[in-house]
Amino acid sequence: MGKTFNNKAWFMVLPVVVLVAFSAVIPLMTVVNYSVQDTFGNNEFFWAGTEWFAEVLDSSRFWDSLLRNLAFSAIILAIEIPLGILIALTMPRRGLGVPVCLVLMALPLLIPWNVVGTIWQLLCRSDIGLIGYGLASLGIPFNYAADPLHAWITVVVMDVWHWTSLVVLLAYAGLVSIPDAYYQAARIDGASRLSVFRYIQLPKMKRVLLIAFLLRFMDSFMIYTEPFVVTGGGPGTSTSFLSIDLVKMAIGQFDLGPAAAMSIIYFLIILLLSWIFYTVMTNSDAQG
């Protein structure tokens, strides 16, 4: 006797499908439509084909912003992943310290992105900011609004402060899921602290670290609000990432065609790099 299937369950996910269609699919199709058309106003559009895509790819502005994005993501991942693991390893596994540490780690994640940018903008001001004024008092000149290196340091430190907690919480979740039997066997064998981390803790954290790696890459590669609030993309174009250039092109210059083409290329780059990272890391996990 064959199985009876009840398709009424699909009605439960129908609201989600409708919501995704309105919030993602329809706007995406609008962007695709703009990317192959040109307009001279009065709501009149003309077919442009791949003209805007060629213009974006031939622009040095696009490639410079892309290199800044890649450099920023590489720096963020190189700092936040090891730092998050290190903090998670020092957190307590039992007792009152556990909820206290978890709450403290979650606090930066609850602050809106624009508020984070405003906080660090005030902190780093040399006249009234705690960090900026403190450095000036020590005779260390620091001006994120005029020095590109200082602007990069500010943006990187701000992102590390804001998002390292996410890596910490994910790494901690992986650590607490390790059975005590593994640690007992390691103590019996006389394994060192480094060996325990290398052969027990790190392999058990691989899956959550993969999630942390992908989330932090995608978010750092799409960063917009925090650097825009702090530096506005400056000084000059030193912190103008793809997202900032895209907004300036679409809203500031109202070049809808090139902006739409750039946003599609931007999306495809993120999708491709995320797929590469996921494939490489899952394959290494399977081989291990």
Contacts of 165 (CB under 8 A, 6+ apart): 84, 105, 106, 107, 108, 109
The least confident of 10-19, 47-56, 211-220, 232-241 is 10-19
At residue 46, what are phi and psi to the nearest 5 degrees?
-135, 145
Nearest to 58 by CA among 68, 50, 48, 47: 50
**Residue 205 belongs to some domain of the structure:** yes
Q: What pLDDT is recorded for position 77? A: 95
Residue-number span of the structural domain to which 138 is assigned: 61-287
| Average confidence (pLDDT) over 13-22 | 80
| Average confidence (pLDDT) over 159-184 | 92
Find how far residue 64's CA is from the centre of its chain.
19
Is residue 7 classed exposed, middle or buried when 0-12, 13-18 and 19+ CB atoms within 10 A define those classes? exposed
| Average confidence (pLDDT) over 11-39 | 82
The least confident of 152-156, 185-189, 283-287 is 283-287
Specify the CATH number for the domain of residue 96: 1.10.3720.10
Please determine, for residue 1, whether its predicted confidence score (pLDDT) is greater than 80: no
Q: What pLDDT is recorded for position 10? A: 75
**Residue 82 belongs to some domain of the structure:** yes
pLDDT bin (cut points 50, 70, 90) of residue 22 is: confident
| Average confidence (pLDDT) over 95-112 | 91
Q: Would you mind telling me the total number of residues written for the chain in this entry? A: 288
pLDDT digits (tens, 9 = 90+) for 197-207: 999 999 888 88
**Residue 96 belongs to some domain of the structure:** yes
Find how far residue 142's CA is from the centre of its chain.
26
| Average confidence (pLDDT) over 7-28 | 78
pLDDT bin (cut points 50, 70, 90) of residue 37 is: confident
Q: What pLDDT is recorded for position 63? A: 94
pLDDT digits (tens, 9 = 90+) for 120-137: 999 998 888 899 889 988
**Residue 6 belongs to some domain of the structure:** no
| Average confidence (pLDDT) over 168-181 | 92
Report how many domains make up the chain. 1
**Residue 38 belongs to some domain of the structure:** no
pLDDT bin (cut points 50, 70, 90) of residue 2 is: low
Retrieve residue 104's tokens: 């403290």
Q: At what angle do helices 202-221 and 256-287 cross, to 10 degrees?
A: 170
The DSSP annotation for 208-266 comes to HHHHHHHHHHHHHHT--HHHHHHTTT-STTTT--HHHHHHIIIIIS--HHHHHHHHHHH
Looking at the chain, the whole-number percentage of residues with pLDDT higher than 70 is: 95
Please determine, for residue 277, whether its predicted confidence score (pLDDT) is greater than 70: yes
Q: Cα separation of 211 and 81, whole Å?
A: 11
Mean pLDDT in the chain? 88
> Checking phi first, is residue 112 left (phi over 0); if not, alpha (psi -120 to 50) or beta?
beta
Amino acid at 10: W
Q: What pLDDT is recorded for position 287? A: 64
| Average confidence (pLDDT) over 68-82 | 95
pLDDT bin (cut points 50, 70, 90) of residue 165 is: very high
**Residue 10 belongs to some domain of the structure:** no
**Residue 181 belongs to some domain of the structure:** yes
**Residue 54 belongs to some domain of the structure:** no
pLDDT digits (tens, 9 = 90+) for 229-272: 999 888 988 999 999 999 998 888 888 889 999 999 999 998 89
Please determine, for residue 285, whether its predicted confidence score (pLDDT) is greater than 70: no
* Cα atoms in the 13 Å half-sphere on the side-chain side of 116: 23
